[in-house]
Amino acid sequence: MAAAAPRALAALGAALLLAVSGRAGKYSREANEGLAAAGAKRREAGEFRVVRLNQVWEKAQRLHLSAVKLAELHSDLKIQEKDELSWKKLKAEGLDEDGEKEAKLRRNLNVIMTKYGMNGKKDSHLVDTNYIKDGTESDALDDPRLEKLWSKAKTSGKFSDEELDKLWREFKHHKEKIHEYNILLETVSRTEDIHKNVIHPSEENLVKEEILHSKHRELKDKLRSINQGFERLRKVSHQGYDTNSEFEEPRVIDLWDMAKSANFTEKELESFREELKHFEAKIEKHHHYQKQLEISHQKLKHVEETGDKDHLNRNKEKYAMLEEKTKELGYKVKKHLQDLSSRISQGLQHNEL
């Protein structure tokens, strides 16, 4: 009887452990299923709360974009949605009388439309690239200086395959910064042409002039970032990566270089450095999910061809879960980037005063 008691207790413990383990697995599964279900429910009601953003998203569904690109677009549109809803609230309170914030929203949407090939123009910038498919292929950097640097870096023998992949991401990031600068420059040029053609100055035109000054400040910030970024690429391409480098992600390196030029105290700069470390970890997690999403998309296409219904349903569920997680992380990364960039911009403007 006494000997049976420990065996009974052990059996009970094992049963409880099995139950807890099963429940944990169930909760994890339910969380993933809930994430996918939330995405399906949102799609039925409309992805976004702003009509024109839904129209952009519906148009994007008809384009041949990769799963990763679509998830990126979704994140960009979620940021645009947040900004537009905030602006509507400001407008209702009479706090955007000069129309500056509304003009910036239009400009941002124009950048998004151009970035994903929805502005009606053919653009080699939109050659679809992703981490799995393209690796370190120099498909189109659209700048002879960048092409030359990249070619030298590839043949220098200074970089491992992993470092070349990292450097390629930096080159692509730099190309995107130039592209966004050109879109903004074109917008400013159009606005200036209209402004010059006005014969009689009025209060409204003085307001528009202030908006132009604001755009010029934004252009100046972007151009400073481009010049700093090119100098960094030139240095890394010739010397290789510094083993003591604090950051690896291109966007974080950009932010840190800009922060060091801003009007921050030593304590503020140290605090910013710590926040950038957290931001870089968030970006790495997003990259991980982007890779998993691309793999899942390729696998789903393969399973669709085999015709195994059960296998297909399981892969669809996994793909839906990864798609939602990638969108969610993409939004968090872009929102965090927006907040950090705004703080640096304020610091740089303070320097100029």
pLDDT (tens digit per residue) in 83-129: 999 999 988 888 877 777 888 888 889 888 888 888 776 554 444 44
Least reliable range by pLDDT among 4-13, 75-84, 85-94, 314-323 = 4-13
Please state the rounded mean pLDDT for residues 305-331: 91
Residue 52 has pLDDT above 90, yes or no: yes
Predicted structure pTM score: 0.72
Structure letter (DSSP) for residue 264: -
Residues in Cβ contact with 324 at an 8 Å cutoff, skipping those fewer than 6 apart: 35, 36, 38, 39
Please state the rounded mean pLDDT for residues 209-222: 70
Tokens at 263, concatenated: 């009007």
Confidence at residue 83, expressed as pLDDT on a 0 to 100 scale = 93
Question: What gap in Å lies between CA 330 and CA 169, rounded to an integer?
Answer: 17
Confidence at residue 68, expressed as pLDDT on a 0 to 100 scale = 93
Question: Closest Cα partner for 293 from 247, 327, 334?
Answer: 327
User: Which residue would you say has higher pLDDT here, 305 or 335?
Assistant: 335
Highest mean pLDDT: which range of 54-58, 136-140, 309-313, 339-343: 54-58
Confidence at residue 18, expressed as pLDDT on a 0 to 100 scale = 47
Task: Tell me if residue 244 falls in helix, strand or coil.
Answer: coil
Least reliable range by pLDDT among 87-101, 213-227, 292-306 = 213-227
Please state the rounded mean pLDDT for residues 65-89: 93
Radius of gyration, CA atoms only, the chain? 25
User: Which residue would you say has higher pLDDT here, 267 or 14?
Assistant: 267
User: Which residue would you say has higher pLDDT here, 211 or 64?
Assistant: 64
Residue 55 has pLDDT above 50, yes or no: yes
Please state the rounded mean pLDDT for residues 34-45: 57
Which pLDDT band, with edges at 50, 70 and 90, does 20 fall under? very low
Distance (Å) of CA 186 to CA 110, 216, 222: 11, 12, 14
Confidence at residue 199, expressed as pLDDT on a 0 to 100 scale = 46
Confidence at residue 305, expressed as pLDDT on a 0 to 100 scale = 83
Least reliable range by pLDDT among 14-28, 29-43, 172-186 = 14-28
Confidence at residue 330, expressed as pLDDT on a 0 to 100 scale = 95
Question: What gap in Å lies between CA 11 and CA 14, rounded to an integer?
Answer: 5
Instruction: Check if the beta carbon of residue 279 is closer than 8 Å to that of residue 252.
Output: yes
Which pLDDT band, with edges at 50, 70 and 90, does 9 fall under? very low
Confidence at residue 322, expressed as pLDDT on a 0 to 100 scale = 96
What does residue 169 show for φ and ψ, rounded to 5 degrees? -65, -35
Least reliable range by pLDDT among 65-74, 84-93, 321-330, 342-351 = 342-351
- For the chain, give the mean pLDDT: 79
